[in-house]
Amino acid sequence: LAKTTQPISMDSYEGQEVNITCSHNNIATNDYITWYQQFPSQGPRFIIQGYKTKVTNEVASLFIPADRKSSTLSLPRVSLSDTAVYYCLVIGGFKTIFGAGTRLFVKA
């Protein structure tokens, strides 16, 4: 399973766009890129998933270049409630391996 590398932490201010980049150099052909969000004392929550190019939903956008060796989660206009840990996962099939995640802290 592909290993992912992402920043340990990031700071932002309310109303800013936040981009979190994840590296997954040995991603396999059948792997998907998935992002989860976790608040303290809660289980991880699915944000977005993609295979290539760009995916957008009501919460975020996911940008994946042609070589798929990295991806960028984009959170538009963050608020204080977006303070959480964000996990980038590369998943083929069912097995899910979590890395350390990126701790995003949104300040007023």
Partner 1 sequence: EAGVTQFPSHSVIEKGQTVTLRCDPISGHDNLYWYRRVMGKEIKFLLHFVKESKQDESGMPNNRFLAERTGGTYSTLKVQPAELEDSGVYFCASSPPLAGGPNEQFFGPGTRLTVL
Residues that bind partner 1 (CB under 8 A): 32, 34, 41-46, 49, 51, 87, 91-101
Provide the minimum distance between the beta carbon of 27 and partner 1 in the complex, in angstroms, as a whole number: 13
Provide the minimum distance between the beta carbon of 28 and partner 1 in the complex, in angstroms, as a whole number: 12
Provide the minimum distance between the beta carbon of 99 and partner 1 in the complex, in angstroms, as a whole number: 6
Q: Find, among 66, 62, 68, the residue nearest to 26 by Cα.
A: 68
Which residue lies nearer to partner 1 by CB, 15 or 100?
100
